[in-house]
Structure 1
Amino acid sequence: MDNRGVSAGQIAIFLILFCIGSTPMFELGIEAGQDSWIALSAAAAAGLGVLWVYRTLQNRAPEEDLAGLFKLHFGKALGTLLGIAFALLIAYESMRNVRDFGELTAMTLLPETPLWCTMLLIVGIGFYTVTKGVDTFFRIAQVLLPVLAGSYMLLLVLLLASGRIDPDRLRPVLEHGPMPVLQAAFPNLIAFPFSQTIVLLVFWKYAAANKQTGAASYAAYGLVAIFLIAVNAVIMMVLGPAMASIKALPTLEAVELIRLANFIERLDILVTLLLYIGLYVKISALYLASALLLRSACRLPLPAGAIGLGALIYGTSFLEPTNTFHLWLGLELGLKLTPFYQLVLPGIMLLTGVGWVKRKAERQRKKKAGEGQGGAEPAPRAQPSA
Structure 2
Amino acid sequence: MQQIGKNQLSILIIVFLIGSTPLFELGIKAKHDAWLAMILAAAAGLLLTVMYVHLQRRAPEAELAELYKMHFGRWIGGGIGLLYAVWFAYESMRNVRDVGELTMMALLTLTPKWIVMLLIISAAAYTVSKGLEVFVRVVQLLFPIVAASYFFIILLLFIARLPDPQHLLPILENGLAPVVKAAFPDLLSFPFGQMVIFLVFWKHVSEKKIIGRASYWSMIGVSAFLVFMNMLVMCVLGPELSAITALPLLEVVQLIRLANFLERLDVVVTLLLFIGLYVKMTALYMASVFTLNSVTGIAYRYCVMPIGAVIYASSFLEPNNTYHIWIGLDITLKIVPLFQVVLPFLMLVVGVRKRYKTN
Does the 8 Å CA contact 2:16/2:276 hold for their aligned counterparts? yes
- Report the identity percentage: 50
Q: Which residue of 2 aligns with 1:184?
A: 182
Contact between 2:5 and 2:206, CA under 8 Å: does it hold in 1? Answer: no
Maintained 8 Å contact 1:63/1:208: no
Instruction: Tell me which amino acid in the other structure corresponds to 2:101.
Output: E
Q: Equivalent residue for 2:78?
A: 80
Counterpart of 2:356 in structure 1 is 360
**1:299 and 2:259 are equivalent in the alignment:** no
Deviations 1:297-353 (A, max 9, x none): 111112221111101000010111111111111112111111012100100111110
Show the counterpart of 1:379.
Answer: none
Query: Is the 1:91–1:309 contact (alpha carbons within 8 Å) kept by the matching residues of 2?
Result: yes
Spell out structure 1 runs of 4+ moving beyond 4 A: none
Alignment-derived partner of residue 240 in structure 2: 242
Structure 2 residue corresponding to 1:211, chosen from 186, 209, 216: 209
Aligned partners of 1:91 and 1:286 also within 8 Å: yes
Report the residue type matching 1:293 in the other structure: T
Structure 1: stretches of 5+ with no match in the other structure? 366-386
Map of 2:105 onto structure 1:
107
Counterpart secondary structure, 1:218: helix
Using structure 2 for the length normalisation, give the TM-score. 0.98
Extract unaligned runs of 5+ from structure 2. none
Distance 1:154 1:22 in 2: 17
Matches within 5 A, 1:49-88: 49-88=47-86
- Measure the CA separation in 2 of the matches of 1:214 and 1:6: 15
Aligned residue identity for 1:184 = A
Q: 1:14 aligns with which of 8, 12, 17?
A: 12
Deviation at 1:216, TM superposition (A): 0.6
Q: Deviations over 1:249-306 (max 9, x none)?
A: 1110011000001110000111111110011100110001100111111111122211
RMSD: 0.9
Letter in 1 for 2:217: A
Offset of residue 84 of structure 1? 1.2
Instruction: Name which of structure 1's ranges 300-309 and 31-40 shifts more when overlaid on structure 2.
Output: 300-309
1:162-193 CA distance string (max 9 Å, x none): 11110000011111001000000011100000
Equivalents in 1 of 2:33, 2:192: separation in Å? Answer: 18
Matching residue of 1:24 = 22
CA distance in 2, matches of 1:72, 1:210: 19
- Aligned AA (2:227): I
Shift of 1:208: 5.0
Aligned residue in 1 for 2:317: 319
The residue type paired with residue 24 of structure 1 is P
Q: 2:209 is paired with a residue of what secondary structure?
A: coil
Q: 1:133 aligns with which of 125, 131, 135?
A: 131
For the pair 1:34 / 2:37, whether they are aligned, the reply is no
* Pair member with larger Rg: 1
The answer to whether the Cα contact below 8 Å between 1:196 and 1:342 also exists between their aligned partners in 2 is yes
Report the secondary structure of 1:245's partner residue. Answer: helix
Cα distance, 1:25 vs structure 2: 2.8
- Give 2:167's aligned residue: 169
Q: Tell whether the 8 Å contact from 1:94 to 1:313 is kept in structure 2 after alignment.
A: yes
Contact 1:72–1:361 (Cα < 8 Å) also in 2: no
- Is the 8 Å Cα contact of residues 252 and 268 (structure 1) preserved in structure 2? yes
